Structure 1
């Protein structure tokens, strides 16, 4: 009888872990696919980087983003969510000087919104209320400063075509960091 109870307890304890593991794996696959789609959309936006070399700038992405092993696994999801949200905000700014196809930008915004919705669901269901306070962490504040520098740069350059080309290249690289963070989140 005792062995039977122990077996049931063990199975009950393993089930949420297995479910969570499968959710992380599914999230990783969806996130990876979505990041690739966002990178493809960014590549479709015209702009010649070589014409804007003098406008390049180091926006100083936080080191925690470059080296995700410094983050706890659960917190990587918050960082990814913040990155997606800030990229979304950037692309809602004035890009009329770029000559970009508005449909591509809208598709990018839709893709970003879907990623954020998926992550928000995972954060709410899997990580619980206790981790929501992590959104005010030092890493998130560094990240907000990074994106603020990007927005300030765009405004200072009056949303010029070259400024947007520089930002497009910067944000393209962000999706590589997002994929690394997602790998860390899953492992």
Structure 2
């Protein structure tokens, strides 16, 4: 009798691990494709005017984002979710650049919202509060400071066209980092 229960438990564990692995692989593919689409939308926004080079700034993205080797899958999903949420808020809250195509920005915001929903329903919403607190204490505070620096920069530059160009370029690179983080779903 005990052997039958152990066998059933082992099979259940095996199937649930396989299902979770398939879920992460599907999430990885969807996340990567969506990030590439967001980069393409950002590219469609106005190009860099020649006189904006002096406005460039290093916003100092946290080094853990550039080198995400230590993240667990669950924490990685939470970090990506937070990045998408902050990118969304940068574009949504302060969007005042009259030179940008509003349809492209709307499409970009919709794509970001879809990515956040996907991550939330697949992984982030299922994390326990303790896991969320651990992920938050690890990197999220530094990440939040990074996006505050971006919004502060836009404020200081009075949301000028050049400032938006610099921020657009920075956000473009954020999606490259998100894709690197997304690769963690494969491990």
- Please tell me the TM-score bracket, short chain as reference: over 0.9
Paired position in structure 1 for 2:37: 37
Paired position in structure 1 for 2:53: 53
Give the length in aligned residue pairs: 187
Q: Distance in 2 between matches of 1:127 and 1:18?
A: 19
Paired position in structure 1 for 2:96: 96
The correspondence of residues 6-155 of structure 1 with structure 2, limited to 5 A, is: 6-48=6-48, 50-124=50-124, 126-155=126-155
User: Structure 1: 5+ residue runs without aligned partners?
Assistant: none
> 1:20·1:126 contact (CA, 8 Å) conserved in 2?
no
Aligned to 1:70, the other structure's residue is in SS state coil
Deviation at 1:74, TM superposition (A): 1.9
Deviation at 1:49, TM superposition (A): 5.1
Q: Distance in 1 between matches of 2:2 and 2:97?
A: 73
Q: Distance in 2 between matches of 1:80 and 1:49?
A: 30
Instruction: Provide TM-score, normalisation by structure 1.
Output: 0.92
Q: Distance in 2 between matches of 1:9 and 1:31?
A: 32
In 2 relative to 1, CA 79–49 (structure 1 residues): closer, same or farther, beyond 3 Å?
Answer: farther
Deviation at 1:184, TM superposition (A): 1.4
Report Cα offsets for 1:127-170 as digits up to 9, x if no partner. Answer: 34442223531410000000000000000000000000000000
Q: Is 1:164 the counterpart of 2:180 in the alignment?
A: no
User: Structure 2: 5+ residue runs without aligned partners?
Assistant: none
Moved more, 41-50 or 158-167: 41-50
Provide the aligned C-alpha RMSD in A. 1.7
Deviation at 1:39, TM superposition (A): 0.4
Q: Distance in 2 between matches of 1:155 and 1:2?
A: 66
